[in-house]
Amino acid sequence: MIYLDATLAASSPVNMGVNRTVRGIHRHLAARHGAGLQPLRWDFSGKTFARLSARELEFLERPFASYQKPSAIPGRGCWRSGWAAWKDSRTRPERFVDLGARMQPEDVLLIPDLCWDRRIEAWAQFSRWPGRKIAVFHDAMPLNIPGQSGSNDALFREYVRALARLDTVICISNEVRDDLLRYWKQDGIAPRPTPVLPWPVPFEGPRPDNPPHREARHLIYVARLKLRKNHLVLLEACERLWAEGLGFSLDLIGVEDAFWDTRRILAQVRRLAARGRPVRWRKHISDAELAEAYREASFTVFPSRMEGFGLPIIESLWHRRPVICGSNGAIGEVAAEGGGCRLVDQNDPAALAGAIRSLLDDGAAYQHCYEGACARTFRSWEDYGRGLDEVLRGP
């Protein structure tokens, strides 16, 4: 039996980053193992795992079924969501699972979730449980860039230490693996097996056959509203170009994040929009709307300072849209796998503005990047699944 900790993806219809990939893992394992897969969530009040309610399973399997329009944070402030959560709370104890008593030596507990919370306190019990315990580690961002708004860096350090209690920790990029091993070494922790399994394309079905669309002069940036994602640097770069008379539009797509980060970014968006600049925040949108956004874009920008992987780069290239991004760390790993990326110093507004101008005004440069994006090959969920199954089987 494979027990899957899907706490965050089963708690909200937000479908970006970690939640999106956890849902992909669930689809893959459900297709391969059927009744041999049991998705669970951590009950923070009961301090135990629990089976999913019908509502939570819908979040995991069909995240867009519960809302019909773009939202800053899907599910927040919705009376239907609150009512459903209240009904779920009445059956909580009935769904509790004593996993330590239930697991068998051949079983696996897979934790692809981001466990930056108090559930790590229970991990001390894992050594007494039969079976193998495996986690996916997404990034060490709070330690690499400490002091971010809304970040509990001390708790994240506990999470990194707690990962060493597991049998295996899957890392999503070489940079993430190097970071994890470095912080373990700093804390005097013996390393555990840390295989690297990069994320696949998160979408299913055939690849869209989107033709080049430079004449639209339209850019999108897909990322949650967090300062380390460099929205303010991007907006400064765009304002330089708009002030010079260059015509183009920009859409920001993604959920709210830390309160003050989001407020600062949206305040700048409002200031620019009030001056007539063609920029807007489209909030969190469905996969169908996201596919349409990529289709309508000329190219995308991804100026994030640092990532554990950089999934929107893959998303853009999958949709045959060139990407302007940095070349550092895991972002550089993704960019270096093929063509389609225009690499810049993403922390420099002038450099970012220059790259945007080039793809807008230089048809040959745009076509070169477009053809590079089209020539890309991608890891599928089938490819990822083979690597995951090998890790789950163990030595």
User: What residue type is 74 in one-letter code?
Assistant: P
Residue 77: pLDDT above 60? Answer: no
Q: CA nearest 168: which of 194, 199, 141?
A: 194
Q: 365 and 387 share a domain? A: no
Q: Which residue has the tokens 């990047």?
A: 369
156 is a domain residue: yes
Q: Go through 121-132 and write b for each residue having 16 or more CB atoms within 10 A of its CB, e for each that does not.
A: ebbeebeebebb
**pLDDT value at position 186?**
97
Dist. CA 159–CA 117, nearest whole Å: 8
Which pLDDT band, with edges at 50, 70 and 90, does 2 fall under?
very high
Q: 357 and 386 share a domain? A: no
97 is a domain residue: yes
351 is a domain residue: yes
Are 244 and 354 in contact by the 8 Å Cβ rule? The answer is: no
**pLDDT value at position 79?**
41
207 is a domain residue: no
Q: 18 and 161 share a domain? A: yes
Dist. CA 147–CA 133, nearest whole Å: 31
Question: pLDDT tens for residues 149-204?
Answer: 888 899 999 999 999 999 999 999 999 999 999 999 999 999 999 999 999 998 88
Q: 227 and 143 share a domain? A: no
Task: HSE, CB side, 13 Å, CA atoms: give it for residue 371.
Answer: 6
**pLDDT value at position 16?**
84
Residues 122-141: what's their mean pLDDT? Answer: 93
Q: Output the CA–CA distances (angstroms, integers) from residue 66 to 3, 22, 59, 85, 224, in the order listed.
A: 25, 18, 8, 13, 20
Q: Which residue has the tokens 């919705």?
A: 78
Q: 275 and 290 share a domain? A: yes
140 is a domain residue: yes
3-class DSSP assignment, residue 323:
strand
Residues 256-274: what's their mean pLDDT? Answer: 96
3-class DSSP assignment, residue 341:
strand
Dist. CA 395–CA 393, nearest whole Å: 7
Residue 228: pLDDT above 60? Answer: yes
Structural domain boundaries enclosing 259: 214-374
Which residues have a Cβ under 8 Å from the Cβ of 165 and sit 6 or more positions away? Answer: 123, 124, 126, 127, 133
Residue 90 φ/ψ, nearest 5 degrees: -75, -20
Q: 224 and 366 share a domain? A: yes
Give the chain's radius of gyration (CA, Å): 21
Total domains in the fold of the chain? 2
Residues 203-231: what's their mean pLDDT? Answer: 96
> Looking at the chain, how many residues does it have?
395
170 is a domain residue: yes
Which residues have a Cβ under 8 Å from the Cβ of 375 and sit 6 or more positions away? Answer: 338, 339, 340
Q: 227 and 314 share a domain? A: yes
Q: 237 and 269 share a domain? A: yes
Which residues have a Cβ under 8 Å from the Cβ of 97 and sit 6 or more positions away? Answer: 40, 48, 49, 50, 51
Residue 81: pLDDT above 60? Answer: no
- DSSP run (H or E) holding 89: helix 79-90
**pLDDT value at position 131?**
95
User: What residue type is 12 in one-letter code?
Assistant: S
Question: pLDDT tens for residues 13-49?
Answer: 888 889 999 999 999 999 999 999 999 999 998 899 9
Q: 124 and 160 share a domain? A: yes
Q: 189 and 290 share a domain? A: no
**End-to-end distance of the chain based on CA atoms, in angstroms?**
17
6 is a domain residue: yes
* Residue-averaged pLDDT of the chain: 93
Q: How many beta carbons lie within 10 A of that of residue 192, not counting itself?
A: 17
Q: 54 and 177 share a domain? A: yes
Question: pLDDT tens for residues 316-344?
Answer: 999 999 999 999 999 999 999 999 999 99
57 is a domain residue: yes
Q: 226 and 190 share a domain? A: no
Token readout for 112 is 């692809």
Q: What is the pTM of this model?
A: 0.93
Is the model more confident about 216 or about 45? 216
Residue 84: pLDDT above 70? Answer: no
How is the beta sheet containing 168-171 ordered, strand by strand? 96-97, 48-51, 37-43, 2-5, 108-111, 132-137, 168-171
Residue 83: pLDDT above 60? Answer: no
Query: The CATH number of the domain where 193 resides is what?
Result: 3.40.50.2000
